[in-house]
C-alpha cells in the first residue's frame, strides 16, 4: 500500500536527516528524497495506481510529506551554512600574526631623490622634458651642427630624420631657457637612450641629472663650488676630488670631475684602472652659441652646466660593479636597499 510506503519514508528520512554532519551529507539527502528521480517523486508516480476514492486522501499525505521533507531540509541547510560562515570568519587571536614584506623604492629612485634634495637645498628647481626629442633640441641648439664630428660622440636611436630618443637631458635646458628669462637655476632628471653595446659599464638606457645656472657674472669658480658641495654632501666630507680639462660642444671651457676610487681609496685597482680616480660628471661654462639659440645676450649673461649619470653615482656610492643589475629586477639585489 502507498500509505505504508509514505509512513516508511517518513521514518527513513527522520533517521537520515539526524545523521547529517555537513553540507555534503545534506546534498546527498536532497538528491535521495527530493531529486527528480528521488523517493518522493517515485511515490507520486505510484499515485496513479491508488483507487479513485482513496486518491484525495493519499495525495494529501504525499503533499504533506513533500512539504515536511522540504521544510526540514531547508532549515538544516540554513543552520549548516550559518555554522560554516561563523567558523570561517572566526579569528584566533592566539595565533601569531602574519609577517608581510613591505616593498621599498628602487635604488635608482632613492639615489635620485637624494640628489634632488641636495640640489633643491642649493636653490635649484626641477624640470623635466620629453624623451622623444627633435634633432634641433637634442643637437643643433646645443651647438652640434649637422656635420659636426661631435655628433659621433653619442650613438643615437633615430626614429626618423627629424626625431630621436634623446641622448641626454640637455634638451630640457634649451626648452627651459626658451620660456624663462635669467636668472635660471634648475636641474633636469630623466631617462636617456644611446645605441651602445650592453656591458657591465654601459647600457642602452640609463638616467641622467643635468644642471644649469644662468645669470650675470656667473663664474667657473661657482660651478666648482656647487659640484664640490654636492659631492661632499652625497659621498662625505673626506672625499678627494679633481677637475680635468675636457671637451663638450655646448660648454667652453669644459671639464670632468673625478673623485677618489671607492674600492681602493686612491691606491689603484682594476675598478679605477689603477689610477686611483673615478669620473663622476662632466661640466663647463655654457657656450655662447647655445645662448644665441635661445636669444640670451651672451655679453650680459654667463652660465654653467653639468651632467651626471644616476646609475654611475649609485655604483660609486654602493660599490656596484655592473650597471645591468639595476634593470634585472633581481629580488636578491633589490632587497638590499
Q: How far apart are CA 210 and CA 188, in angstroms?
A: 5
Does residue 45 sit within a domain? Answer: yes
Query: Can you give the residue range of the structural domain that contains 271?
Result: 107-334
Check if the beta carbon of residue 34 is closer than 8 Å to that of residue 28: no
Per the prediction, the chain carries an average pLDDT of 85
pLDDT for residue 10 is more than 80: no
Same domain, yes or no, for 192 and 275? yes
Does residue 95 sit within a domain? Answer: no
Does residue 259 sit within a domain? Answer: yes
Q: How far apart are CA 251 and CA 185, in angstroms?
A: 16
pLDDT for residue 154 is more than 70: no
Does residue 207 sit within a domain? Answer: yes
Check if the beta carbon of residue 283 is closer than 8 Å to that of residue 173: no
Same domain, yes or no, for 258 and 298? yes
Please report where in the chains the cell 495506481 appears, as a residue.
49
Mean pLDDT (whole number) for 214-236: 94
Q: Cell numbers at residue 256, please? A: 670632468
Same domain, yes or no, for 235 and 315? yes
**Cα 274 from chain centroid (whole Å):** 38
pLDDT value for 187? 96
Does residue 275 sit within a domain? Answer: yes
Q: Cell numbers at residue 44, please? A: 507520486
pLDDT value for 151? 64
Does residue 288 sit within a domain? Answer: yes
Q: Which of 63, 89, 115 is the last residue of a domain?
A: 89
Q: How far apart are CA 323 and CA 334, in angstroms?
A: 13
How far apart, in Å, are the Cα atoms of 304 and each of 192, 210, 252, 276? 21, 11, 9, 27
**Residue 297 is part of a domain; what is its CATH number?**
3.30.930.10
Over residues 89-146, the pLDDT tens digits come to 667 778 888 888 788 899 999 999 999 999 999 999 999 999 999 999 999 999 987 7
How far apart, in Å, are the Cα atoms of 68 and each of 23, 62, 78, 172? 19, 10, 16, 82
Check if the beta carbon of residue 210 is closer than 8 Å to that of residue 188: yes
Helix axes 55-89, 39-46, angle to 10 degrees: 170
Domain total in the chain: 2
pLDDT for residue 1 is more than 80: no
Helices assigned H by DSSP within 151-287: 170-178, 220-235
Which of 53, 40, 34, 47 has its CA nearest to residue 2? Answer: 47
Does residue 96 sit within a domain? Answer: no
Classify 127 in phi/psi space as left (phi over 0), alpha (psi -120 to 50) or beta.
beta
pTM for the model:
0.68
pLDDT value for 88? 60
Amino acid at each position: 500500500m502507498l500509505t505504508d510506503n509514505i509512513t516508511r519514508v517518513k521514518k527513513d528520512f527522520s533517521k537520515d536527516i539526524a545523521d547529517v554532519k555537513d553540507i555534503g551529507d545534506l546534498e546527498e539527502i536532497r538528491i535521495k528524497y527530493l531529486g527528480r528521480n528521488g523517493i518522493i517523486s517515485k511515490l507520486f508516480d505510484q499515485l496513479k495506481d491508488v483507487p479513485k476514492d482513496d486518491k484525495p486522501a493519499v495525495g494529501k499525505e504525499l503533499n504533506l510529506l513533500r512539504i515536511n521533507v522540504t521544510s526540514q531540509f531547508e532549515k538544516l541547510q540554513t543552520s549548516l551554512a550559518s555554522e560554516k560562515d561563523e567558523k570561517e570568519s572566526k579569528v584566533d587571536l592566539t595565533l601569531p600574526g602574519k609577517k608581510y614584506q613591505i616593498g621599498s623604492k628602487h635604488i635608482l629612485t632613492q639615489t635620485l631623490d637624494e640628489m634632488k634634495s641636495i640640489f633643491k637645498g642649493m636653490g635649484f628647481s626641477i624640470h623635466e622634458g620629453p624623451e622623444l626629442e627633435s634633432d634641433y633640441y637634442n643637437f643643433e641648439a646645443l651647438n652640434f651642427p649637422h656635420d659636426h664630428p661631435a655628433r659621433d660622440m653619442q650613438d643615437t636611436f633615430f626614429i626618423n630624420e627629424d626625431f630621436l630618443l634623446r641622448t641626454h637631458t640637455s634638451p630640457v635646458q634649451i626648452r627651459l631657457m626658451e620660456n624663462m628669462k635669467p636668472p635660471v637655476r634648475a636641474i633636469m632628471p630623466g631617462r636617456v637612450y644611446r645605441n651602445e653595446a650592453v656591458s657591465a659599464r654601459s647600457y642602452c638606457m640609463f638616467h641622467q641629472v643635468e644642471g644649469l645656472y644662468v645669470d650675470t657674472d656667473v663664474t667657473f669658480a661657482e660651478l666648482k663650488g656647487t659640484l664640490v658641495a654636492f659631492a661632499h654632501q652625497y659621498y662625505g666630507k673626506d672625499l678627494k676630488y679633481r677637475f680635468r680639462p675636457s671637451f663638450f660642444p655646448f660648454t667652453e671651457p669644459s671639464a670632468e670631475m673625478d673623485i677618489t676610487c671607492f674600492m681602493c681609496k686612491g691606491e689603484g685597482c682594476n675598478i679605477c684602472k689603477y689610477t686611483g680616480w673615478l669620473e663622476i660628471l662632466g661640466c663647463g661654462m655654457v657656450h655662447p652659441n647655445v645662448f644665441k639659440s635661445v636669444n640670451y645676450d651672451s655679453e650680459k649673461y654667463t652660465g654653467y652646466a653639468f651632467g651626471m649619470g644616476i646609475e654611475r653615482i649609485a655604483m660609486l656610492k654602493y660599490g656596484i660593479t655592473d650597471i645591468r643589475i639595476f634593470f634585472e629586477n633581481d629580488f636578491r639585489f633589490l632587497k638590499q636597499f
